[in-house]
Structure 1
Amino acid sequence: MSSRLVSWARSPRSCSCRLATAPPRASSWCSSRISCCASPTADWWGRLWVADHWPISALGDEIAPGLEEQIAVLHDQGVGALELRSAWGINVVDLGSERLELAARLLRAAGMSVSAVGSPVGKADIEGDFDAELSRLRAAMDAAQRLQTRRIRVFSFFIPNGRHAAFRDEVLRRMSAFAKEAASQDLLLVHENESYVYGDDAVHCRDLVESVGSPALQIAFDPANFVQVGVRPFDEAWPLLAQHVVHFHVKDAVRVDRDGVEPYPAHAPEERLMASVRPAGEGEGQLADLLHALERQDYRGFLVIEPHLQMRLHEIDATERFAVALSALRGLVGETVASPH
């Protein structure tokens, strides 16, 4: 058994805890236990045993560019799944068949599953070349087949100056075409709410999914991204989207510093968006309420960690930042299990 000192993410600078990691196993479920000076009576087998409820995954390219290192760190931290966005510094839709087959072999050898292909499909200008975006979707679909996952993350195109109504028909045309392609191979597109795309807030996310009306297009719920556009994730977004949520990104945030910038959808500097991100439970993303809601809904999908903490915790390396994000999630899930609503 190996151990590693990591920061206790609920209070990153207040104390340290020791992460005890069980030997790797071929499972999509978490295999780690945390004991912490901040919670000395925590029950390893209940309070902080996340896998009793949801499998954890992560966007591993925030740990390292190389897939081998991504896999090694995730295994060391007891995480049994990866959301593949890039490997060896190459976006997943550009990896090509040989690299995808290598990735699949490495993941199989490590006993790891793939929660989704973290594609950039739809993260493009709505007035841009649709055929190019369709090609990227087909590349993502090929990746999903080779990596043995049904889920592909997508976006709903950048809209100029928040002009949702002006571009709604074109967005629906494109997203319907995407859904038809995915359905033809029994794949599932999960739309991530993102600043400046059509589905940036809860109202437009619901309009998108319900207007397309395909089982092949559902929601990847990102609390931090809702906070960044001025939406309260649990109070405002969850009631509109709960029935469509099949994927959940774990990321928290506080409101973006818009000093000197017009209200959203005016663009704020990217560094301000990144600076607003926090570990789970430390922002305004209402993560505790959302986890209770997932519990009540009998959610069976992944909790996908997307740390985005490089600006907030720039003094530690990427592996340590991931450990902070993971510890925060496990602590929050432990609280959810211990105090069900």
Structure 2
Amino acid sequence: MSNAQNPTWTLSGFGDEVDPDPKIQAAVLTALGASHIEVRSAWGTNVADLDDDQVAELKSILDGAGMKVSAVASPIGKVDIGLPAAHEVNRLRRVIEVAKALETRYIRMFSFFRSADQTPEDMRDAVMERMGLLAEEAERAGVMLIHENEKDIYGDTPERVLDILETVKSPALRAAWDNANFVQVGVKPYTDAYAMLRPYLEYLQVKDAIAGTGLVVPTGYGDGELVETLTALSRDGYAGFASLEPHLAAQHELGGFSGPAAFGEAARAFRAVTDAIGITLV
């Protein structure tokens, strides 16, 4: 059993950063000691667009590999705020079906891109309306939305992430924490955000970044204050998922790619830090 003195976290990772083929995704993650996988796409198809047969095949492959799903890394909310609210609500309904078929309760999501002439304040009301509708849908379905602090969406700074969580006030909406994304918007993650958002932190996505360039690097090689963050989480008794999202070879609007070798590099860098802190990864 995990405790604050000897925490145990569950290692996962974005399978499509390894390879488009879920068989290879599962094999590499297993070799790196992960028991879970985060599903963003399979065979080059985003999780929101997989049909029932593909979902069933994916589940069969993962079951055969002894791999469970930590979260569905959906693109919900990674669209322009100008789209009708129903657009993402309808997409979420499909993603919920996929999450249930893959036997996970966590669905990663975002809080909408703004157009070039919009300020965050301009879009706030529309964001809160949409996030509220999405949270209601999730609550009815018995799943949990985890909001990722992606750059260039409404919730890309700690203050606006907090604004969303406090305004929506839903047990079905919590925070997915990403140190690198905070670095990319000029935030020092541990210094500026940890105390503010820790009460809502439900899920850890693991990547680091360099402040001057925004370049994503392995754990401990950037300015993401990962050692401080991981140490604080271990002391707080965090006992959830740690999901590797290395983005070491390419990154783009809907995701990133690393390849098996770079993914392994990211996993080893993360494990070196967790070993030093005294965190067990399973």
Calculate the TM-score normalised by the size of structure 1. Answer: 0.76
Q: Given residue 81 of structure 1, which amino acid in structure 2 is its aligned partner?
A: H
2:83 pairs with one of 128, 147, 151: 128
For residues 59 and 284 of structure 1, what CA distance do their matches in structure 2 show? 22
For residues 77 and 253 of structure 1, what CA distance do their matches in structure 2 show? 22
Instruction: Name the structure 2 match of 1:293.
Output: 232
Secondary structure of the structure 1 residue equivalent to 2:139:
helix
Structure number with the bigger relative contact order (C-alpha 8 A, sep ≥ 6) is 2
Instruction: Name the structure 2 match of 1:192.
Output: 148
Instruction: Name the structure 2 match of 1:14.
Output: none
RMSD: 1.6
Matches within 5 A, 1:310-321: 310=249, 318-321=259-262
Gaps of 5+ in 1: 1-50, 258-272
Larger Rg: 1
For residues 311 and 218 of structure 1, what CA distance do their matches in structure 2 show? 28
Instruction: Name the structure 1 match of 2:173.
Output: 217
For residues 209 and 158 of structure 2, what CA distance do their matches in structure 1 show? 17
Superposed displacement of residue 256, structure 1: 4.3
1:112 pairs with one of 38, 63, 67: 67
For residues 137 and 251 of structure 1, what CA distance do their matches in structure 2 show? 26
For residues 100 and 88 of structure 2, what CA distance do their matches in structure 1 show? 19
Instruction: Name the structure 1 match of 2:131.
Output: 175
1:334 aligns with 2:278: no
What is the number of equivalent residue pairs in this alignment? Answer: 267
Partner deviation per Cα, 1:40-65 (whole Å, 9 max, x = no partner): xxxxxxxxxxx962111000101100
Secondary structure of the structure 1 residue equivalent to 2:154:
coil
Q: Given residue 78 of structure 1, which amino acid in structure 2 is its aligned partner?
A: G
Superposed displacement of residue 132, structure 1: 2.2
Matches within 5 A, 1:1-341: 53-161=8-116, 163-257=119-213, 273=214, 276-310=215-249, 318-337=259-278
Secondary structure of the structure 2 residue equivalent to 1:55:
strand
Calculate the TM-score normalised by the size of structure 2. Answer: 0.91
For residues 158 and 290 of structure 1, what CA distance do their matches in structure 2 show? 27
Gaps of 5+ in 2: 1-5, 252-257
Superposed displacement of residue 286, structure 1: 0.4
For residues 165 and 62 of structure 2, what CA distance do their matches in structure 1 show? 32
Q: Given residue 209 of structure 1, which amino acid in structure 2 is its aligned partner?
A: L
